[in-house]
A and B are shown apart, each in its own frame.
Chain A
């Protein structure tokens, strides 16, 4: 897919376009496009450069490809992913066979961070969401888009919006499940506290896809790296929601 991954710093735009056209036309006419994988993962375009940019103190990194279909408990994890995400997975692009890549960042022998990316379908194209997280707590230290094909891309890429995700954990998302249903105004709900940068009245599906992507990213990291340490928060939220549901049903039964 050399055409689409042609990525360079634009200097003289027209000169570049001329060259690109001739190059692309030749390639388009002559070369055949190399085959994409049936299941497309999300990897950094230039891992060594990008990770050094994120972690200037990095000495080395390691790339681990995780594939649920290669894991003994893969099916179970895939089901858990669906349940914890709270939405269906895209049947074509978020499949059981989709591979994931976790980058472990080292300074000497010490792990100083993890970086992980996921694809989510956006309104106009794929959204690639990367998060770097604290190696001990799993809290997000940075969040960025590698690709964002959207009519509201400028708004979503603003630093003010992205910085709201710093310190966010998966547990916060599970707590949000509870708070959003039971105490919508709670100030403890960090996820609800994230300001939507898109003015009301405009299509904000890419904003919601972004949140979904961040959540999916953290769920997978919890499974691959943190041994599902935030699972108790999910279970507790589900329990409490179930209790609240029961309580809501009881008065109805009494009335009857």
Chain B
């Protein structure tokens, strides 16, 4: 029989107390693992979404939406477009692997409401050059199956064909061959025009913004919005993507007065920074949970020490050194923390789908796929943390027990 097995046996003396204390630790660990998993999963989801854009860089007009996070709060500076000639200039840059021009406009749609004052909704219209767009996003495919048969891209010079993202089509309950209505306000026009399109194809769900987009031929989009020589974004993939190459590229094109070069890495960093506040809150919640568990453990072990005062005195009488008593109590604390950590980790892993569903239900994070990712690093990190917490939690009770004078302890026990 060793100290460890003695520690286990001592914990069984008060099973309810031990279970409650372990449960407190387990809850704190489950919270820590779940929140760390959410933190990691959400970052990964953002990275995935950025990667699925296909572009590494975007050239766009200065001012929007690079600081869009604050722009949303402080107001925009107007719809901004690039002159098409910038595309003609940039496309010959030697570092560019591929480039695609995109025109984005907003079309009005029927709002969703039963009252007369219900406002409008909007649809994102993207005018694209199919060939170069597909080079950036080779994973785009057309939905097949009933209602989606024979989907295809529109002809380059088509004026009435669109291709819809999966979500856009489902929301409108459209099939291939159906009509799609949109109200467009051309630049400088006094009135909006309602345009009827035919749906040439519906894309498979990609889990990206393309799912909610309606695509038109680039020239037609420019014509409809009466911006024939304007673009919104140039999406670019470099031949070699590195920090140095990016800086060189930026330095070549930032001299143009009206443009900014946005690296998707920078956007990722901005987004990550935006969720930094959430991360701080997550860390705070975790720390509070850990502190509460720590206090519970110290309290439970101290109570146990006081209850066993006489026994501790006798153990000292029969030859236990201070270190032996210290070890005994300290191991009990570690055992509680380790069992609690293992239990909490298992609860977090088995409940991660539930946690994910709850988070997605409560907050529209706008990402698809898993947002809770619990990997081995998180598990080992949290478990190690629990052991460290147990290490410190046991110090005071163990010291108290070891410091008891045998006579006083025996007398107190009587």
Contact = CB atoms under 8 A, between A and B. Distances in A.
Q: Do A and B come from one complex?
A: yes
Interface of A: 1-10, 15, 17-36, 40, 44-46, 50, 53-54, 90-93, 119, 121, 123-126, 128, 130, 144-151, 153
Contacts of A147: 110-112
B72 A34 contact: no
A21 B125 CA distance: 11
Nearest to B111: A7
Nearest to A36: B170
Interface in B289-347: none
Given A24-B124, A125-B172, A3 B212 contact: yes
A28 B77 CA distance: 18
4 cross-chain pairs, A with B, having the tightest CB-CB distances, nearest first: A124-B181, A31-B366, A18-B76, A92-B147
B68 A35 contact: no
Contacts of B117: 9
A7 B68 CA distance: 20
B78 interface: yes
A29 B267 contact: yes
Interface in B160-208: 165-168, 170-175, 178-181, 194, 196, 205, 207-208
Contacts of B115: 50, 53
Interface stretch (B12-20, B49-57, B247-255): B49-57
With most chain B CB atoms within 10 A of its CB, the pick from A8, A10, A34 is A34
A46 B117 CA distance: 13
A125 B146 contact: no
A151 B173 contact: no
B167 A1 contact: yes
B208 A21 contact: no
Contacts of B111: 7, 147
B109 A29 contact: no
Contacts of B72: 19, 22-23, 26
Contacts of A36: 166-167, 170-171
Contacts of B174: 121, 125
Contacts of A121: 173-175, 178
B196 A33 contact: no
B370 to A, nearest CB: 12
A145 B114 CA distance: 6
B86 interface: no
16 contacts: A2-B366, A3-B212, A22-B76, A23-B68, A24-B122, A24-B124, A26-B65, A31-B49, A33-B208, A33-B209, A34-B366, A45-B112, A45-B114, A121-B173, A121-B174, A145-B114
Contact of B364 (A4, A34, A124, A153): A34
Interface residues of B, number: 70
Contact of B121 (A7, A28, A119, A144): A7
Nearest to A14: B78
Given A1-B167, A50-B113, A7 B181 contact: no
B28 interface: no
B17 to A, nearest CB: 44
Contacts of A130: 114
A9 B172 CA distance: 21
B106 A151 contact: no
A21 B64 CA distance: 9
Given A4-B171, A36-B167, A21 B212 contact: no
With most chain B CB atoms within 10 A of its CB, the pick from A4, A44, A151 is A4
Interface string B135-173: 000000000001110000000000000000111101111
A92 B52 CA distance: 28
B64 A22 contact: yes
A3 B367 contact: no
A26 B50 CA distance: 12
Nearest to A8: B119
A237 B112 CA distance: 37
B173 A25 contact: no
B203 to A, nearest CB: 12
Nearest to B104: A25
Nearest to A3: B212
B106 A126 contact: no
Nearest to B233: A29
B277 interface: no
A125 B119 contact: no
Contacts of B196: 124, 151
A151 B181 contact: yes
B129 interface: no
A121 B147 CA distance: 12
B207 A91 contact: no
Contacts of B175: 92, 121
Contact of B173 (A5, A15, A40, A54): A40
B118 interface: yes
Contacts of A90: 147, 173
Contact of A32 (B110, B124, B173, B366): B366
